[in-house]
Structure 1
Amino acid sequence: MATPQTRPADQYSPLYFLASLGAGGLSVTFFMFLMFWVPHKGQPVPVFEDIMAAWAAGNPALQAAIVIAMAGIAFFTVLNIKSLLWNLSAYSAFKQTDAYEKLRNSNAESTLLAMPLALAMTVNALFIVGLVFVPQLWTIVEFMFPAAMVAFGLIAVLAFRLIGDFLGRVLSKGGVFDVTAHNSFAQLLPAFAVAMIAVGFSAPAAMSTNPTTVAAALIISTVLGVIAILYTILAATTAVSSMLQHGTAREAGPTLMIIVPIVTVLGIMFIRQDHGLHTTFDGHSTAADTLTFLTRMISIQIAFLGLGAVVLKAQGYFNDFVLGSKTSPGSYALVCPFVAFSVMTHFFVNKGLVAAGAVAKYGTAYWSFTAIAIIAQIIAIALVLRLNKQHFAKRDVVAVPAE
């Protein structure tokens, strides 16, 4: 008789939606190569025609970058969608179990927000795939923006229903929220989800030429962005108090760096809004303003990357849950900070330093800073591949001998 096999992911948690999120985020890191290295006059982002023109006229280094970028986008978007579909199926089955009811009546109810977070990332990833691989897409883009906003609107409804259920339960009656188990930044997941939806809504603000579309994108993304910021501040403040009293929950240690992706998505949202205000409503900010803003954003990220690294090292988290044999669905929260830091570094270098004239594009300083972004990207790729192997590879079930 064959030995029965199982895998850690069979013990389902909504946090596995972060596996889909991380893969989708990696597709964005590869798009940064095209965004900042492929000329794209006439629109704010490169499209298929720009990429093909750059390939035809480019040197071998640029051609290699284009191949790597397109392959990376294709691979990680497929992985993103595959993981999302698996999660939706597993989540549907999970809802029929007693474990789901237990989760809905605990602090961990907020982990359900990983679903709208992953859904919003997939919409963003699919838009990138359209830009990169679909010819003539830009000719119908004004019709796509309202459709994308409807999709993000539906995801926002789902997110706020889940947030409403959670806050309605814990704030309407005392004693149902375990403050002693609030010793991590796990409760910032709803803020991250709302921020991801906000950055999706902000895309038409930067890319559309229709004033009504731009205004709607500006207003809705601002409302969602402000809500995300308020939620982040309140949840983080109360969590720090609990961590100081009880220490950081070991399996939730990676959440200490969740501020990093929140800062990236909100930072991109503000940049998109600023571009829309400039091109459509004659609002102007200088390159120096953008450099200052991005420097402040990346400073926050460095602070929380450092905090997370210190705590995770003290807890021996990597040795146990990444390099060792132990598994925790929360380990996927490690991917997002490195993805987000990589993306923000690209923006800091190109929209900040280069645009302000602080460094020359493609000079020594430029590649030195860009190398930091690429190193963070490589770490994120290694984490995704390692964690997928840990959590989704089948293992033989070892029989426990009778006493």
Structure 2
Amino acid sequence: MAITFFIWLNFLVPHPATPIVTFDSIAALWAKSDLIGQALLLLAMVGIALFAIRHFQSLIWNLSEFARFRRSSAYVQLRETNGAVMLMTLPLTLAMTINVLFVLGAVFVPGLWNVVEYLFPFSLTAFFAVGVLALRTFADIFGRAIANGHFDCTRNNNLTQLLAAFAFAMVGVGLAAPAAMSTVKLTIGIAMLGSIFFIMAAIVLALVLLVLGTRAMLTSGLAVEAGPSLWMPIPLLTLIGIAFLRISHGLHTGFELHIEPVHRLLITAVFFSLQMLVGLFGWSVLQRVGYFRTYLNGPSRSPGAYGLICPAVGLFVFGMFFLHVGLVQNGLVEKFSPVYFVLLAALAAVQALGIATMFRLDRRLLSAPAKKLAEAESAA
């Protein structure tokens, strides 16, 4: 969610000298803005800071809880079930954390871009390390499942297994960042090759697991508590789409393979169209099974409900890419025109809905006293 506020700055704050918005470009706009403009800039920066703090608080808590969980017999049992894919959330979250750190540095550290070429090797090393962790975790989970044949296809009636592809895609899009931002050919090349490896792994896995999950759902119906997994392809498509854009930019700046704006329109239109299709279909199914009525507004509580947040973030982020990189750069929508603001308002509504849902789930799952939880479960 911190990234969504950065996206506002990245597309609305002029930064002609750098590929992404930085503290210096924000300060330059601040100096010549009126009170309303300064208030909007402050709002975005406060949003980044607050959600980044929340991210690190949650990260520390979850790492501590996971360390305790690994010493329990439940951890051993988990590794022998379909739920073992949940272990892929560790590399997924660590890759997210590197992205958050990158955003914090860009927005809050003056002059950072002057030394950014020296930072890219550290960024690549960190993402490769997380990628190795993701590969080892994946090999352990799915290698054991294939070797022992204990994977239960009948209970795979959801898309939770896409977490594995999601983790690889998060590593891939992080590796692609230096490809789009560096001016050193070697850095661009290493970033591109690493990104291509993990993005291809994500695509192949996603296709296989999507077929397996869909087949199980057609046979046994959706596992309702895992309903938000129907929307997992939305953030997955966001990561793959942004990686493609970053790689194309690296080919343009580092290898003189010039990518025209219309090609970016095609890339963003294809991925955004798929996201809309997944979103509408998932909404239809979740409404039909009463998921929102039960787990968001009703008495039942499920940690899996937090799976509703990433699709909102993914749709908003790639929607901003589609609007600016696809439509505005190709002259289909004029920036700051009435149509532009209508589309921008629709994307802002998606972001606001995601934030409201997060706060609601925090109150229901993290802040509710134990007594109230017990009473609610008894009533249910």
- In the superposition, the TM-score normalised over structure 2's length comes to 0.96
- Alpha-carbon distance in 1 for matches of 2:37, 2:332: 23
- Which string of whole-angstrom CA distances, capped at 9 and with x for unpartnered residues, describes residues 152-176 of structure 1? 11111111111001111111133x0
SS of 1:356's equivalent in the other structure is coil
Structure 2 equivalent of residue 94 of structure 1: 69
CA contact (8 A) 1:33 1:65 kept: no
Residue 178 of structure 1 corresponds to: 152
Q: 1:207, 1:77 → 2: CA distance?
A: 23
Query: 2:332 is paired with a residue of what secondary structure?
Result: coil
Equivalent residue runs for 1:128-167 within 5 Å: 128-167=103-142
Would you say how many aligned residue pairs link Structure 1 and Structure 2? 375
Cα RMSD, aligned residues only: 1.4
What letter corresponds to residue 222 of structure 2 in structure 1?
T
In 1, distance between residues paired with 2:127 and 2:98? 8
Q: Percent of counterpart pairs with the same letter? A: 39
Offset from partner CA, 1:319-376 (integer Å, 9 cap, x none): 1111122111111111000110000111111111110011111111111111121111
Please state how far the C-alpha of 1:178 moved relative to its aligned partner: 0.6
Q: Which residue, out of 207, 211, 232, partners 1:258? A: 232
The yes-or-no answer on 1:31 pairing with 2:6 is yes
**Secondary structure of 1:358's partner?**
coil
- With CA pairs under 8 Å and 6+ residues apart, which has the higher RCO, 1 or 2? 1
What residue number does 1:80 align with?
A: 55
Structure 2: where are the runs of 5+ without partners?
none
Question: Paired residue for 1:20?
Answer: none
Paired with 2:248 and 2:168, the residues of 1 have a C-alpha distance of 20
1:359 corresponds to which of 305, 313, 333: 333
Query: Structure 2: how far apart are the matches of 1:249 and 1:394?
Result: 26
Q: 1:380 aligns with which of 337, 342, 354?
A: 354
The one-letter code sitting in structure 1 at the alignment partner of 2:289 is Q
Q: Deviations over 1:96-149 (max 9, x none)?
A: 112111111100000111111111111101100100000110111111111011
Give the AA of the match of 2:205: Y
Q: Tell me which residue corresponds to 2:254.
A: 280
Classify the secondary structure of the residue corresponding to 2:301: coil
Q: Is the 8 A contact 1:345 1:372 kept in 2?
A: no
In the alignment, what sits opposite 1:192? Answer: 166
**Aligned-pair CA distance for 1:238:** 1.1
CA contact (8 A) 1:194 1:227 kept: yes
Q: Structure 1's 213 and 344: CA in aligned 2 closer, same or farther, altered over 3 A? A: same
SS at match of 1:44: coil
Counterpart residue number, 1:368: 342
Contact 2:249 2:259 in 1 (8 A): no
Query: Is 2:270 the partner of 1:270?
Result: no
Q: How does 1:287-326 map to 2 (within 5 A)?
A: 287-326=261-300
How far apart, in 1, do the equivalents of 2:264 and 2:39 lie? 30
TM-superposed CA distance for 1:64, in Å, is 2.6
1:163 and 1:336 map into 2 onto residues whose CA distance is 21
2:73 and 2:44 map into 1 onto residues whose CA distance is 44
Is there any run of 5+ residues in structure 1 with no aligned partner, and where? Answer: 1-25
The answer on 1:333 being equivalent to 2:302 is no
User: Conserved in 1, the CA contact under 8 Å of 2:168 and 2:201?
Assistant: yes
2: CA distance, partners of 1:334 / 1:210: 39
2: distance between equivalents of 1:391 and 1:118?
20
Partners of 2:3 and 2:59 lie apart in 1 by 16
Helix, strand or coil: the match of 2:336?
coil
Pick from 120, 136, 144 the counterpart of residue 169 of structure 1.
144
Please give the secondary structure, in 1, of the residue aligned with 2:209.
helix
